[in-house]
Amino acid sequence: MNFVIFMAGAVLMLVMGLRATKARRALITKGEKVEALVAGTVHTRDGVSLALEFTTPGGSTRRLPYPVPQKAKGFAQGSRVTLYYDPLKPEKVYVQGDKSVLGAEIIYYALAALLLGLGVVLQMMQ
């Protein structure tokens, strides 16, 4: 029974990693790429976020909240970042160089491998 639980966990983590990678890649390949200004911070229901301000290809100015990365190097107020966003769903945003996004993907894949390994070891011990 433990084998099944570990395999289910491994599959779940793998699916989460693939979904995160697919969403990030979709924004990079199909989303709008703009240079954004870190205009400060805003309070959202999820806490404090960066306020990223940019001009759309149509010429309008937009301001989107973006969760403050854990390692916020290069995200200081007044700095410029490369931003990818979905014009139809502007809450879907990826800032190039945000290592916390890539770190989450790596953690999903590492957990999948660990759970798979533990499941195989448990199965071999029986």
Domain positions in the chain: 2-125
Residue-wise pLDDT for 79-124, tens only, equals 999 999 998 888 888 988 887 788 889 999 999 999 999 988 888 8
**pLDDT tens-digit map of 11-22:** 999 999 999 999
Q: Residue 111: what pLDDT? A: 95
Q: What is the pTM of this model?
A: 0.77
What amino acid is encoded at 75 in this protein? F
Reading the block at residue 51, the tokens are 């306020």
Contact 77, 40 (CB under 8 A): yes
Hey, which residues does 83 pair with through a beta bridge? Answer: 34, 95
Q: What is the rounded (10 degree) CA torsion for 100, 103, 109, 114?
A: -120
